Structure 1
């Protein structure tokens, strides 16, 4: 056992590992860090005997009263944990594999850092109880069909048109607060339309488009990142760098009319700001207080507006972008109001990744894997793997055509 491991608890190594794997300043952000932290916590509780039935006492010898240490870890421990994950817990095969990979990655890091003498988790005997991976990613199989895409975009387009028309045709003597309410409804409908069109036609990952609370670098696209004239949008890609994504023609008009209606005070304004009233109320109060306004004046100012979003626009108080979870909530609401027929084992609504995957289907069928890979910002190998069913179907058509030709030749030969 390495000397360093003798004075380090498992929990201490967890924090150092997560900092190394995290994103942003101090390694505090990132989805991987969050997911890995969850699984490491489960592993620690299992090792201590705190998560399972009374017949499991953990990995520490029965006659010893202490927390698990690195000295207790060997390939038999990881074999037992693999068996625990694959037990009767209702987990899918690929989910078990994913959970084990988090623990295995930590184990490999421990070897490099001098906590363990060998990568026990990767030994064949340790991994033997794991079920075979079926090759599918959990929850990543939905793809919007052409009918679903058209139904959803038509629905949000009609809602936005109606809301904008209701606002722009108000009589001149309409009460100020009523005008603000109509403008707010138009802005919200226009934002939802623009979001749906971007997700439906650009194939941009939702994590590249909106704010991720676990990754400070993903703050959501701003108007300064968009060039409607050029049909492009700068996004922070999955490969950890900024890159230009295409804005096809169907997206330009919804974004342009939405921008005109919003009239953002600065180019740094988020394209898809949060409309959450509680969040905006807190933001407005804090910002106005920092500007020297007294609480009574802040209250009077807010009373003049139907919604804090409109006050933020007038005062140049920049809100945050909606989050990726916020986008899912919006799509759940819109899928329900549009009454779209959805048959999927995991999602009862049109999930954001389904727009990207559906666009991938269109591109592969129309232009092939190479062009689709460029548009999707993926390797051609990965695109071929993800959309292998298309090639299989095409090969099936070729086989069918070949069989029909052979049968035709056979009948002709017999007739002669």
Structure 2
């Protein structure tokens, strides 16, 4: 790592980080940015010795007169900060966890940007002093609200409609490569729309829908696994067996339109293939070579296409499904493009599991725990535990109604 990065003051990185995490033009807005800025300022003051105990002098050696830099950071520093947050300051357990996550997210960003060589904040020794979450408001349990769900699905639907219309209305004399560009843009927008609608309305776990590189059984759903006429989809469940999941009405049309546009060569094609150019380029080269094509011929063949995905479709070179991490990247991109306001300590985008939890909220409120448990492929006991706040609120309404009735009798 360059010495320049190590000698950089900590707060020199804050604005770039906040811009990356912020919303709107220039990354100046968003609740996450505001909350993260507050915690970074507190961390910087503590690191400089301004917010600790009377005998706390900061992380810079006593015999050195300068502000804290990245060279001063290691896992012991984050361990001390975790201990500082968990001290006698009146903070709830889950609040301590939330504050630490803001700093941990910044630390991870610093690794990616070359300021640090390791994600010290996520090491077990650094996190050991953190208290157990008290369960009042789990920081990692995002649930899409109705407003967020509608905003995201409306955004991807408009994008897909515009891209498909632009492609299908191209004049007949359009240059073939321009037609390919139009088709590729339409395919990508249609795939994103279908993925968002499936995550938003089916409550299927993202690990059941897409590829897990560490589990060969989870290769991602294929078109052969879907029955759009019956409204069902076969997925490999968390309980280690294949089972049918429901495809509600809002999901059918996006999937049907996307399938018609893609026109997969076989039913074994993944519903949500990767569009990563590097992966597809390597796959196409290897497959055509195995079919006996010479390197020069492969280069010429690829030059006929603007994207290797289109060549793969024509030659039935089946790509892998996107991974669960790939889905998170897509949702980050789409959440930002849709300018959705998200106030959550861990996720500054609509995470995949949030779609499942959001649908769980809808089902519990509309049909109760038993029906929701069947749809979510969970036990009723687990659903009651995870959505206990709904029952608590309903009981509160019952209590209020009872009190009002008694008061009316007394009057």
Structures share fold, TM-score greater than 0.5:
yes
Q: 1 CA distance for matches of 2:173 and 2:302? A: 22
1:235 Cα offset (Å): 0.4
**75-84 vs 10-19, greater mean Cα deviation:** 10-19
Q: 2 CA distance for matches of 1:276 and 1:185? A: 14
Distance change in 2, residues 1:284/1:255 (3 Å) = same
Distance change in 2, residues 1:295/1:191 (3 Å) = same
> In structure 1, the residue corresponding to 2:218 is in which secondary structure?
coil
1:241 Cα offset (Å): 0.7
1:405 Cα offset (Å): 1.4
The answer to whether the Cα contact below 8 Å between 2:17 and 2:109 also exists between their aligned partners in 1 is yes
Distance change in 2, residues 1:56/1:321 (3 Å) = farther
Correspondence for 2:160: 160
Distance change in 2, residues 1:238/1:31 (3 Å) = farther
Correspondence for 2:191: 191
1:346 Cα offset (Å): 1.0
Which deviations, in whole Å up to 9, do the C-alpha atoms of 1:130-179 show, x marking residues without a partner?
Answer: 94552479653211111111111111011000000000000000000000
1:63 Cα offset (Å): 33
Distance change in 2, residues 1:378/1:85 (3 Å) = farther
Correspondence for 2:392: 392
Show the 5 A alignment for 1:15-164.
Answer: 131-135=131-135, 139-164=139-164
Distance change in 2, residues 1:204/1:164 (3 Å) = same
Q: 2 CA distance for matches of 1:140 and 1:82? A: 18
Distance change in 2, residues 1:169/1:98 (3 Å) = closer
Q: 2 CA distance for matches of 1:269 and 1:133? A: 43
Distance change in 2, residues 1:354/1:109 (3 Å) = closer
Distance change in 2, residues 1:90/1:374 (3 Å) = farther
> In structure 2, the residue corresponding to 1:217 is in which secondary structure?
strand
The answer to whether the Cα contact below 8 Å between 1:30 and 1:214 also exists between their aligned partners in 2 is no
Q: 1 CA distance for matches of 2:235 and 2:323? A: 15
Distance change in 2, residues 1:67/1:217 (3 Å) = farther
Note the aligned Cα RMSD (angstroms): 11.4
1:86 Cα offset (Å): 8.9
Which deviations, in whole Å up to 9, do the C-alpha atoms of 1:370-398 show, x marking residues without a partner?
Answer: 00000000000000010000000001111
Q: 1 CA distance for matches of 2:101 and 2:210? A: 28
1:402 Cα offset (Å): 1.1
Unaligned runs of 5+ in 1: 410-415
Give every structure 1 segment of 4 or more consecutive aligned residues whose post-TM-superposition deviation is greater than 3 Å: 1-133, 135-140
Unaligned runs of 5+ in 2: none
Q: Tell me, yes or no, if structure 1 residue 345 matches structure 2 residue 345.
A: yes
> In structure 1, the residue corresponding to 2:229 is in which secondary structure?
coil
1:15 Cα offset (Å): 43
Q: Which structure's CA Rg is the greater one?
A: 1
Q: 1 CA distance for matches of 2:146 and 2:378? A: 22
The answer to whether the Cα contact below 8 Å between 1:4 and 1:114 also exists between their aligned partners in 2 is no
Which deviations, in whole Å up to 9, do the C-alpha atoms of 1:174-224 show, x marking residues without a partner?
Answer: 000000000000000000000000000000000000011111111100001
**251-260 vs 120-129, greater mean Cα deviation:** 120-129
Which deviations, in whole Å up to 9, do the C-alpha atoms of 1:351-379 show, x marking residues without a partner?
Answer: 10110000000000000000000000000
The answer to whether the Cα contact below 8 Å between 2:52 and 2:84 also exists between their aligned partners in 1 is no
The answer to whether the Cα contact below 8 Å between 1:75 and 1:123 also exists between their aligned partners in 2 is yes
Q: 1 CA distance for matches of 2:344 and 2:5? A: 47
The answer to whether the Cα contact below 8 Å between 2:149 and 2:200 also exists between their aligned partners in 1 is yes
The answer to whether the Cα contact below 8 Å between 1:59 and 1:77 also exists between their aligned partners in 2 is yes
1:299 Cα offset (Å): 0.3
Distance change in 2, residues 1:43/1:269 (3 Å) = farther
The answer to whether the Cα contact below 8 Å between 1:10 and 1:70 also exists between their aligned partners in 2 is yes
Correspondence for 1:412: none
After TM superposition, the score normalised by the length of structure 1 is: 0.69
1:347 Cα offset (Å): 0.9
Distance change in 2, residues 1:50/1:345 (3 Å) = closer
The answer to whether the Cα contact below 8 Å between 1:23 and 1:215 also exists between their aligned partners in 2 is no
1:342 Cα offset (Å): 1.1
Aligned length: 410
Q: 1 CA distance for matches of 2:234 and 2:16? A: 33
Q: 2 CA distance for matches of 1:304 and 1:2? A: 43
> In structure 1, the residue corresponding to 2:216 is in which secondary structure?
coil
Distance change in 2, residues 1:303/1:73 (3 Å) = closer
